[in-house]
Amino acid sequence: MSKTNFGYVRVAAAVPMVHLADCQANAEECFKLVQEAAKQNVQIVCFPELSITGYTCADLFHNQQLITDAENALQWLAEQTAKIDIIVIVGLPVRCGNSLFNAAAVLRGGKIVAVNAKTWLPNYNEFYEHRWFAPAVSAVRDSITLCNQTVKFGRNLIFDGGEVSFAIEICEDLWTPIPPSSVESLAGAHLIFNLSASDEVLGKHRYLRSLIEQQSARCIAGYIYASSGFGESSTDLYFAGNGLIAENGTMVAESQRFSMDKQLVVTDIDIEKLIADRQKNSTFMTGAGVVRSELYTVVSIDFPESKTTDLQRNIDASPFVPSDETNRQQNCQEIFSIQTGALAHRLKHIGCKRAVVGISGGLDSTLALLVTAKTFDRIGLSRKNIIGITMPGFGTTNRTYNNAVAMMRALGVDCREISIKAACEQHFADIGHDINTHDVTYENSQARERTQILMDVANKENAIVIGTGDLSELALGWCTYNGDHMSMYAVNAGVPKTLVKYLVKYVADFEIDVDAKPYLYDVIDTPISPELLPADSNGNIAQKTEDLVGPYELHDFFIYHFVRNGFAPEKIFYLARKAFAGAYSDDIIDKWLRVFVRRFFTQQFKRSCMPDGPKVGSVSLSPRGDWRMPSDAAWKWLLNGHSDR
């Protein structure tokens, strides 16, 4: 993949104005959009089904002059695009033997590379294409002469451009039980282009979007769909001009429906990500054995070089948090249900009716307490069986202490307070540590003292300790080994830090007692801190985690793209610059990315023995599940490609 664009390919779905049965006028409309696409550095542009003639010509397709005009218009379009560095996919009727086929011609450098015929023809209501066209399987030859060229002809053609391959299906092909793209993607196609002419009826568009998203997900591919628009016959139907582009289950770009103007939908597809997903998903290639070489034909094509480093797509700065409030609420509801369901099963399995939670007044312990309270409600146990323990130490502030106590009382749990100060002072004396030396020993001793209290109370009360640490802390190793790193069930282990506050807000708004709501909201507004160092002169938190380890929104971005997508630091930096433009400078992003890489590798030993906890999203660091890594793996090699920063 090119290092300048990190494996992105720029594609376009074109929706031209239609001049029904006027082939030259349609070719000229297509050429205008090809020129516009070239200005935007598009590498492949796809037009709708039968775009040279128009889809709704009906019995005019039996007119030999129309078919000849279509071929002449294709020749003209090929000549006009000869010096434009772009691949053009355009639809037209073509002859092969004694039959006429609904087909797509692929143009490159003034030549026709190959022609792909439609596999499945609709035979219902107004779409009775069998009246005019033959299905691809009835072709008597695998090549045709078109525009004075002899080219490959048929179905399931794989256009191999070296590092990028693509394939074509036409309209109805997508709606069948086994679309051609299912075979084509197994055969290596990263991009699927669909030339379509789909009319509008109530509710159909929602289904179409879902169909495209699902097929792109099944194929782990980019799916580019271009459908006929304004100018098609309105005798019995209306065509709204859908240009839709999806990538592995997500719609990344789409046209404006019902527009009376031509449209060009442009975006960048991440081929590198698709390849990584296919490699990781072992079930994807399990069915490759059924894709025999005779089912598809590979056609070599000169793939255009990328000419831009500016991505034409949105890069989400918070990949773990849906930007849409409705989706975010639904996600929070589902995650919270996974957490409570998992804890309920664990409690029932071991026959345990009591739980211990250490409550600091911070976000993570608050979420753990809420999960535990809701779980006890679900399984019919009294919340008094939940022992909430606040353990003030040298850095505890009034704000967090008061919130911890108030929350526990509002939720009706067994509220206890055990100060760790005297125990830590004795411990410092025992090991010969100066209490005025605020180093790692000073901090970690407090964390381990708290864990010892929780574990021993759990033993005494026949309970289990509920872990509070989240996924982001595990990734960075921002936890004390055998201190807050340890528990008997870690309900937050799959939840990234950027999502924790949204989960707490969701629970405050929809799931839990109204009396606890004001305290939960104040917890959300409290700076993130382990509170292991003394407060400042005003009694406020002095030790802020993000000042020490870096902004969690950056680290969660790094975690997602490193673990989920397998990207190198150089590409993560490239994406972060776009996602956080105006929020962080290049130097700040670079600084914390280097910290992330170093900490992620050197702190693996903590993840190698982490407690059980439920996976809630696409990223998990459990050594028994999604992330298996040696604790002593080298890490500096990862930054070699990023050393110029």
pLDDT bucket at 322, cuts 50 / 70 / 90 = confident
Is 352 an active-site residue?
no
* Closest alpha carbon to 471 in 390, 556, 355, 544: 556
Contacts of 82 (CB under 8 A, 6+ apart): 109, 110
Mean pLDDT of 577-594: 96
The pLDDT score that the predictor gives to residue 336 is 97
How far is Cα 398 from Cα 228, in angstroms, rounded to an integer? 65
Collapsing DSSP states into helix, strand and coil, what is residue 485?
A: coil
Strand-pairing partners, residue 465, are 356
Q: Which of 46, 118, 374, 505 is catalytic?
A: 118
CATH class of 8-300: alpha beta
Q: What is the pLDDT of residue 194?
A: 97
Mean pLDDT of 234-252: 92
Catalytic residue, candidates 46, 171, 332, 415: 171
Kindly report, residue by residue over 426-443, the tens digit of the pLDDT.
999 999 999 999 999 999
CATH of domain 325-642: 3.40.50.620
Per-residue pLDDT, 197: 93
DSSP code of residue 561: I
pLDDT tens digits for 595-632? 999 999 999 999 999 999 999 999 999 999 889 999 99
Q: State pLDDT tens for residues 279-306.
A: 888 788 776 766 766 678 999 999 999 8
Cα separation, 539 vs 180, whole angstroms: 67
Report how far Cα 565 is from the mean position of its chain's Cα atoms.
9
Q: Is the pLDDT of residue 545 over 80?
A: no
C-alpha 624/C-alpha 340 separation (Å) is: 21
Which residues are paired to 123 by β-bridges? 128
Q: Provide the pLDDT for residue 540.
A: 65
In this predicted structure, the answer to whether residue 1 has a pLDDT above a threshold of 80 is: no
Is residue 416 over pLDDT 90? yes
The secondary structure of 207-263 as a DSSP string is HHHHHHHHHHHHTTSEEEEEE--BTB--SS------EEEEETTEEEEEPPTT-SS-E
- In tens, the pLDDT along 466-515 reads 999 999 999 999 999 999 999 999 999 999 999 999 999 999 999 988 88
Count of beta carbons in the 10 Å neighbourhood of residue 318: 17
pLDDT (tens digit per residue) in 82-112: 999 999 999 999 999 999 999 999 999 999 9
The DSSP letter of residue 562 is I
Is 83 tagged catalytic?
A: no
- Whether this prediction's pTM lies above 0.95 is answered by no
Q: For residues 468 and 487, is the Cβ–Cβ distance under 8 A?
A: yes
- Asked if residue 435 lies in contact with residue 442, where contact means CB atoms within 8 angstroms, the answer is yes
Rg (CA), the chain: 30
- Residues forming CATH 3.60.110.10 domain(s) in the chain: 8-300
Average pLDDT, the chain: 92
Residue 181 in contact with residue 169, Cβ under 8 Å? yes
| Mean per-residue pLDDT, 190-216 | 93
* Catalytic residue status for 213: no
Q: Which of 541, 549, 430 is nearest to 479 (CA)?
A: 549
Using CA atoms, how far apart are residues 493 and 613, in angstroms rounded to an integer?
6
The segment(s) of the chain belonging to CATH 3.40.50.620 are 325-642
Residue 552 pLDDT > 70: yes
- Residue recorded with tokens 């209306």: 238
- Cβ–Cβ < 8 Å for 385, 376: yes
Quick one: pLDDT at residue 125?
A: 55
Which of these ranges, 78-87, 333-342, 537-546, has the smallest mean pLDDT? 537-546
Chain position carrying tokens 């990949």: 319
As a whole number of Å, the end-to-end CA separation of the chain is 21
The sheet with strand 250-254 has its strands ordered as 250-254, 243-247, 222-227, 191-196, 165-170, 157-160, 297-300
Catalytic residue among 23, 29, 49, 71: 49
Whether residue 612 contacts residue 346, with contact meaning beta carbons closer than 8 Å, is answered with: yes
Q: Which residue has the tokens 């009319």?
A: 199
